[in-house]
């Protein structure tokens, strides 16, 4: 939802948007208070929301000079597919709240920026339409519902439309204490539907490891668990045979006072010991953040709020801008730290 009657196809001048924080400010000016608060807020007192950023900022880099960085290689292979750079679009709900073209604009922006887009179960656009608009690989984020047949159908529908990876969100047995959303009277407007998640609330009984086993019994695509913070859960994920995990605290939106993801990441990476890929999200805003996450054990990272703000600022173009800024900053950081490829980014780049 946007002030001033923003319409599809409106031209926006993004030339002054130099970083992701600039785009957040632009988005805040354009969005209604309700929509902005929905995206920007964290749970309860927002400790974890802040820690995600502060913990990344507190890590210092150790550059190496005079190494050959004339050719930078940012490619990463995940689940059998090569990505040109290790930054994905995290699943976020309700894109029509942010721009009239909703998820279609996100898919086009992802396409322009050669990025993987992980589509939320709470998409306001059907999966089939997003697949038609996409020119880059799509993944699907699953919230498992009480109705297991419904869940099975949607997984099979996503697979039929070519969604390549299934990210099962495991950190939302219930949603968190979202006081800022409550204060802003957050509700989904009546004319906005979530076709694959009928009803506006999560109607699920909490998932257990048995459900993960059940999902893997019929899923044809790799299954990832999104929302792992505890190294012991990471070990259980490997034992359960999943293809990968995403270290995430849901952008600080669920359980307040859990640690920053960059703090949890090294312990989880140590436990996993390269048996499966570890991805991470939470607070990634700069190319330096991406390098820090890779150094501490992530194969790739995802960004949530910045993409919502890019979308609210300028639709597909804004989404592409966010991803291009981050990709460029990643390359600059690699050149300045003397790391020519992702394989060269390890703990030795941390001070
Ligand atoms: C507006 C918004 C909606 C979100 N919706 C979902 C969702 O539907 N499913 C999900 O698994 N995670 C959801 N998330 C969490 C993100 O996937 C991701 O974990 C988080 O935003 C990453 O942190 P960052 O925003 O600091 O980049 C949402 C986050 C935001 C900000
Ligand atoms: C509808 C919500 C549960 C989607 C979500 O995951 C979020 O807002 O963080």
Residue-wise pLDDT for 209-221, tens only, equals 999 999 999 999 9
206: in domain? no
157: in domain? yes
193: in domain? yes
Q: How many domains does the chain have?
A: 1
User: How many CA atoms within 13 Å lie on the side-chain side of 254?
Assistant: 18
64: in domain? no
296: in domain? yes
**Residue 130, domain extent:** 16-59+74-199+213-337
SS3 state at 31: strand
CATH code for the domain of 88: 3.20.20.70
Pocket of ligand 1 (CB under 6 A): 38-39, 52, 90-93, 120, 122, 141, 169, 226, 248, 250-251, 253, 281-284, 303-305, 308
351: in domain? no
132: in domain? yes
CA–centroid distance, residue 29 to ligand 2 (Å)? 23
Does residue 175 line the site of ligand 2, with CB under 6 A?
yes
End-to-end alpha-carbon separation of the chain, Å? 43
135: in domain? yes
DSSP category for residue 339: -
For the whole prediction, is pTM greater than 0.90?
yes
pLDDT tens, position by position, for the chain (351 residues)?
A: 667 555 555 679 999 999 999 999 999 999 999 999 999 999 999 999 999 999 999 999 999 999 999 999 999 999 999 999 999 999 999 999 999 999 999 999 999 999 999 999 999 999 999 999 999 999 999 999 888 999 999 999 999 999 999 999 999 988 889 999 999 999 999 999 999 998 655 567 889 999 999 999 999 999 999 999 999 999 999 999 999 999 999 999 999 999 999 999 999 999 999 999 999 999 999 999 999 999 999 999 999 999 999 999 999 999 999 999 999 999 999 999 999 999 999 999 999
Q: Which helix (H) or strand (E) holds 281?
A: strand 278-281
Integer Cα distance of 91 and 123 in angstroms: 9
Residue-wise pLDDT for 105-137, tens only, equals 999 999 999 999 999 999 999 999 999 999 999
Of 251, 238, 150, 160, residue with least CA distance to 195: 150
- Could you please report the per-residue DSSP string of 200-244? SS---PPP-HHHHHHHHHH--S-EEEEEE--HHHHHHHHHTT-SE
DSSP category for residue 258: P
According to the annotation, is 92 in a ligand binding site? yes
CA–centroid distance, residue 92 to ligand 1 (Å)? 5
Say how many C-beta atoms besides its own lie within 10 A of residue 194's C-beta: 18
Say how many C-beta atoms besides its own lie within 10 A of residue 183's C-beta: 12
SS3 state at 348: helix
């Amino acid at each position: 939802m946007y002030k001033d009657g923003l319409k599809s196809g409106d031209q926006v001048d993004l030339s002054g948007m130099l970083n992701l924080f600039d785009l957040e400010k632009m988005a805040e000016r354009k969005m209604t208070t309700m929509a902005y608060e929905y995206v920007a807020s964290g749970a309860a007192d927002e400790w974890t929301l802040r820690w995600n950023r502060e913990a990344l900022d507190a890590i210092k880099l150790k550059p190496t000079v005079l190494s050959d960085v004339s050719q930078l290689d940012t490619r990463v292979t995940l689940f059998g597919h090569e990505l040109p750079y290790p930054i994905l679009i995290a699943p976020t709900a309700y894109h029509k709240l942010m721009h009239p073209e909703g998820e279609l604009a996100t898919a086009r922006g992802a396409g322009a920026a050669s990025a993987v887009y992980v589509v939320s179960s709470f998409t306001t656009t059907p999966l089939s339409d997003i697949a038609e608009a996409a020119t880059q690989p799509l993944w699907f984020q699953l919230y498992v519902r009480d109705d297991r047949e419904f869940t099975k159908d949607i997984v099979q529908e996503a697979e039929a439309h070519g969604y390549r990876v299934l990210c099962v969100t495991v950190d939302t047995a219930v949603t968190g204490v979202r006081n800022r959303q409550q204060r802003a009277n957050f509700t989904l407007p009546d004319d906005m539907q979530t076709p694959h998640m009928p009803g506006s609330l999560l109607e699920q009984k909490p998932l257990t490891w048995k459900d993960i086993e059940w999902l893997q019994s019929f899923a044809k695509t790799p299954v990832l668990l999104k929302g792992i913070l505890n190294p012991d859960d990471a070990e259980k994920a490997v034992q359960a045979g999943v293809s990968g995990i995403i270290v995430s605290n849901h952008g600080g939106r669920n359980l307040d006072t859990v640690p920053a993801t960059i703090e949890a990441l090294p312990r989880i990476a140590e436990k996993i010991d390269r048996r499966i890929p570890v991805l991470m999200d939470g607070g990634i805003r700069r190319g330096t953040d991406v390098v820090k996450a890779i150094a501490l054990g992530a194969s790739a990272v995802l960004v949530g709020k910045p993409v919502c703000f890019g979308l609210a600022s300028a639709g597909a173009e804004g989404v592409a801008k966010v991803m291009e800024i981050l990709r460029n900053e990643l390359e600059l950081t690699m050149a300045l730290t003397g790391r020519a490829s992702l394989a060269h980014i390890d703990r030795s780049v941390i001070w």
